[in-house]
Structure 1
Amino acid sequence: MTGGATARPNVIVLVGYRGTGKSTVGRLLAERLGWRFFDTDDHVEAAAGKSIRDIFATDGELAFRERESEALTELCQRGTCVIATGGGAVLREANRELLKSSGFVVWLTATPETVLARLQSDPTTGARRPNLTAVGGEEEVRALIAFRAPLYRATANCAVATDALSPETLTDAILSARAESQSARAS
């Protein structure tokens, strides 16, 4: 998979379902590179003055997706940064195209079991993030990962499975994949 020809070498974008490690790994990547780190969910919450759960409850998912697209547009223009996107950022074609043209895009993957365990052990998940379907839980995780996988795949330059790797090892893997991609483009 390749990104757009105009992708900036000084932007790394992490995509993937919630609980795959985008924020954790993104912070480590930014620290290692000496770059800034941005989390689109944090950006949306700060701009709205309320949690994603509250945005969904009061304004609806469409309003949240609009705010998310605005955040992506702003953050992708900053350069020299690592951006952790929300799990649904790839749902809009315009977002996918923006991400592909903005930098090196990495799809962080994990099995539904891993994602569910991580979400259940994160004390902030319930307060910040709503269920995205009426069923919630494992059934939701399985269904949404399956539905979104082709969108993540179409957007990303590479995919990295996060199930059994430490954040430090994931950071190394992403930097190696990025270096290989830059070498291949230079040849």
Structure 2
Amino acid sequence: MENIAGNLFLIGLMGAGKTTLGRHIAQMLNRPFYDSDQEICRRTGVSVPTIFELEGEQGFRDRETAVINELSALDNIVLATGGGAVLREENRRRLRERGTVVYLHACPEVLIERTRCDTNRPLLQVADPLAKLRELYNLRDSVYRSAAHIIIEANRQSCHKNAEYLLQAWTQPPASSVCNDKK
């Protein structure tokens, strides 16, 4: 499997499993793994919520765009992006031009289960996090789909199963989409 060439970029809402699957795939392929949010935190020395508090979402998105531009220019990496990374057209364009973009699709009801105890998600620090996830899903799903080369249904499958689907789709051109677990 180490002979697969090119970058792999994971997109999707928070809690979809981008970081978990990204680390797993990178290990399988013996490649460097990056998480754009973690990279921003490493460079600034503060958490994502702190950046949102000090600079607002716009300031965070500016940092995110710079990190994605830099990391996506590397060769043979696996990159998990933040959930809002694809909101900017320049990020979508760079990701699509510089590698294979995989949308990990999961419904809001599954995402809330995965994120409910995580306080490092500034957009979910609201009275009704499920309503917020539904709102984000409604706003972003079509953007994720248009940015992706491959779509993986990540609602209930294990990380190992999703890795199998992803590698199968990635290595069998011209497959443009793999869907599984329609539940």
CA contact (8 A) 2:169 2:175 kept: no
Alpha-carbon offset, residue 182 of structure 1:
6.0
Q: Which has the higher contact order (CA 8 A, sep 6+)?
A: 1
1 CA distance for matches of 2:19 and 2:161?
Answer: 15
Q: Structure 1: which 4+ aligned runs deviate by more than 2 Å?
A: 131-136, 181-184
Secondary structure of 1:99's counterpart equals helix
**2:46 is the counterpart of 1:50:** yes
Residue in 1 that maps onto 2:152: 160
Residue in 2 that maps onto 1:18: 14
Q: CA RMSD in A?
A: 1.8
**2:173 is the counterpart of 1:181:** yes
The equivalent position to 2:162 in structure 1, one of 151, 167, 170, is 170
Secondary structure of 1:131's counterpart equals helix
1 CA distance for matches of 2:145 and 2:82?
Answer: 15
- The two structures have a TM-score, normalised by structure 1, of 0.87
1 CA distance for matches of 2:86 and 2:175?
Answer: 27
CA contact (8 A) 2:33 2:79 kept: yes
The equivalent position to 2:134 in structure 1, one of 142, 160, 167, is 142
Aligned length: 173
- The two structures have a TM-score, normalised by structure 2, of 0.89
**2:78 is the counterpart of 1:78:** no
Q: Deviations over 1:106-144 (max 9, x none)?
A: 0001111100000024xxx20x22126855411000010
CA contact (8 A) 1:110 1:163 kept: yes
1 CA distance for matches of 2:97 and 2:128?
Answer: 33
**2:23 is the counterpart of 1:27:** yes
The amino acid of 1:117's aligned partner reads E
Secondary structure of 1:59's counterpart equals helix
2 CA distance for matches of 1:164 and 1:145?
Answer: 17
Q: Deviations over 1:47-84 (max 9, x none)?
A: 11111100000111111000000110110111111000
Alpha-carbon offset, residue 181 of structure 1:
2.6
Task: Report which stretch shifted further, 112-121 or 10-19.
Answer: 112-121
- 5+ long unaligned stretches in structure 1: 1-7
Residue in 1 that maps onto 2:181: none
The equivalent position to 1:59 in structure 2, one of 55, 74, 99, is 55
Task: Report which stretch shifted further, 52-61 or 173-182.
Answer: 173-182
User: Percent identity of the aligned residues?
Assistant: 34
Distance 1:91 1:136, change over 3 A: farther
Alpha-carbon offset, residue 9 of structure 1:
4.0
Alpha-carbon offset, residue 183 of structure 1:
7.9
The amino acid of 1:56's aligned partner reads F
2 CA distance for matches of 1:35 and 1:166?
Answer: 21
2 CA distance for matches of 1:94 and 1:163?
Answer: 28
**2:114 is the counterpart of 1:118:** yes
- 5+ long unaligned stretches in structure 2: 177-183
